[in-house]
Amino acid sequence: MNTPTEVQVINGPDGKPAFVVIPYAQYVAQHNASNGLIPHEVVSRMVDGASAIKAWREYLDLTQEQVSQRLGITQSAYAQQETSAKPRKLTREKIAAAFGIKADQLAL
């Protein structure tokens, strides 16, 4: 899996990694994931007809291209997964890892 480019590592005076800076939406999603929560915005998008995968991607403010790079697949291959009515468990697990959430949060 490719390292997300929006993550910054800040080194300390000793030259070793000391801090990691991530986008706020990604932080909130990871915090919610650790609690098993699904943000209202994700649920609202799903009620409007989006798949759980698409709703999470939009909530995290990621493009299909960014997610496909994290997964090591083409954008068109990822787009197919996003529109799939019931993606396989392994697929959900890989996408959840790319989002920084639990796979169960995609199994709605």
Please say whether the beta carbons of 92 and 105 come within 8 A. no
pLDDT in tens, 66-89: 999 999 999 999 999 999 888 899
Whole-number average pLDDT of the chain? 87
- Burial label for 28, CB within 10 Å (0-12, 13-18, 19+), is middle
The C-alpha atoms of residue 78 and residue 62 are separated, in whole angstroms, by 13
CATH fold group of domain 8-106 = 434 Repressor (Amino-terminal Domain) (1.10.260)
List the domain boundaries for the chain.
Answer: 8-106
Please say whether the beta carbons of 74 and 68 come within 8 A. yes
pLDDT at residue 1 greater than cutoff 50: no
The C-alpha atoms of residue 44 and residue 41 are separated, in whole angstroms, by 5
Distances (CA, A) of 23 to 32, 46, 73: 14, 23, 23
Please say whether the beta carbons of 41 and 75 come within 8 A. no
Q: What average pLDDT score do residues 17-32 get?
A: 80
Q: Which residues pair with 17 in a beta bridge?
A: 11
